[in-house]
Amino acid sequence: MNIIIAGCGKVGQKILELLSQENDINITAIDIKSRVIRDVVNEYDVMGIIGNAATIDTLNEAGIKSCDMLIAVSESDELNLLICLIAKKLGNCETIARIRKPEYAKEIDLLKDDLSLTMIINPEFTAAREIARSLRFPSAIQIDTFSKGRIEILKFKVEAKSALHEMRIANVNNTFGTDVLICGVEREEDAFIPNGDFILKEGDLVSIVASPHKGQEFFKKIGVKTNKVKDTIIIGGGDTGFYLANLLVQSGISVKIIEKNPERCEKLCQLIPKANIINGDGTDNKLLLEEGIEYSDSVVSLMNIDEENILLTLFAKSISNGKLVTKINRIAFDKVIRNLDLGTIIYPKNIAAEYIVNYVRAKRNTIGSNVETMHKILNGKAEALEFIIKENSPVLNLTLEKMNLKKNVIVACANRNGKVIIPRGKDEIMIGDRVIIVTTHSGFNDIEDILE
């Protein structure tokens, strides 16, 4: 599969990082900055071209005529659309464009149809959607969905005095009368795909696989809050804040936005009349206290500066028991940030990149792969993949206990005609099953890759 990536900013480089780990994908990266191209060529197994991707000469040099997919993720929405338009004229490839501006929201379908775009990706909107999902389930630090929402992987922290502390994983379901599978545990810098003998500890970040109903039932039985938040304070009224406020207002959640720019406040008042817009400095702790931050069910820090978001979240954590969400743009200090316990951390660039990579993997079904969905979990140290089981699959009619699985591989869950099954040793995989695999291996393209 031949892919051209036009624009090597944060999103482009994350896409490069993820796709370069795949087999049978040839990547060409285009950027106008020579330093950027030099860096990505040195870091990843890709071909680099310095130039403007909206020109015929540059696209021809990149091999547009034999390209299967072009992904335009430059900083300019208009440039991305132009690149895709020219690419469609020169070749017969699928095109994906990053479009960020809210003013284009109503034109998205028109643009997609008229320009024959395969996909339009908006990092700010996808981030807002992830945040809204986390506010539906406040105790979960991260939620990844599979099988059109029928299966979820939920990550949460084992708090002090939790009933899970010092409990063997094999005893969890019997103790609480639940039906979930613990598929991953993060402990300090280590990540585990645990077996039944693994003992959970206070402070562990635990990932479970379950249907939404079973997951909620599990959280209730271990004494963790499950009701969605009733109100939220959003600090920062940029594009992500706008998209998030819209989603929350539509779901009946009371929204308050604190935004420093008075012109932006006036615009937000017009765009989201049901939200309460406060013109003020979100870093002013007196203002935050006046607006009731200590009593709010949730606080979402969406300022443009990572350091401000981190400090705001730490302040909110010191006075509130609400759900905390922190937006981070740069990941250079990822290890330090994780140790600060900032609640749910959202990386918009990563979410957008993973969304695109998920589509690329699904598209490869036509050339041998049958990965439907893929999410990075356990802080990127493991993958959760969804496979559709087809005829002649080597895992058919085998019980789990008879499968010769590779190490660090779990058959975590199956969706069989809409019924979610947590498979046990005597269960078999059948044709048509949507199976979730969790593994620390990377690059699995087919279900047979799980076998020795």
CATH topology of domain 369-450: Alpha-Beta Plaits (3.30.70)
Is the Cα dihedral 162, 165, 169, 174 positive or negative?
Answer: negative
210-240 pLDDT, tens digit each: 998 899 899 999 988 777 899 999 999 999 9
Q: Given pLDDT bands bounded at 50, 70 and 90, which one contains residue 365? A: low
Domain boundaries 231-321, corresponding CATH code:
3.40.50.720
| % residues pLDDT > 70 (the chain) | 97
Across 8-72, the runs of DSSP E, i.e. the strands, are 26-31, 47-50, 69-72
Minimum mean pLDDT range among 39-53, 67-81, 209-223, 322-336: 322-336
> Residue 298: helix, strand or coil by DSSP?
strand
> Please, which pLDDT band fits residue 331 given cuts at 50, 70 and 90?
low
Q: Do domains 231-321 and 369-450 have the same CATH topology?
A: no
pLDDT tens digits for range 259-277: 999 999 999 999 999 999 9
pTM of the model: 0.82
Q: Is 30 helix (H, G, I), strand (E, B) or coil?
A: strand
Whether the per-residue pLDDT at 82 is higher than 70: the answer is yes
Domain boundaries, the chain: 2-121, 231-321, 369-450
Mean pLDDT of 143-149: 85
Burial degree of 225 (CB within 10 A; 0-12, 13-18, 19+)? middle
**Residue 171, number of CB atoms within 10 A of its CB:** 13
Question: Most confidently modeled of 85-89, 346-350, 362-366, 391-395?
Answer: 85-89
- Is the pLDDT at 114 greater than 50, yes or no? yes
Second-level CATH architecture of 2-121: 3-Layer(aba) Sandwich (3.40)
**What is the predicted pLDDT for the residue at 368?**
44
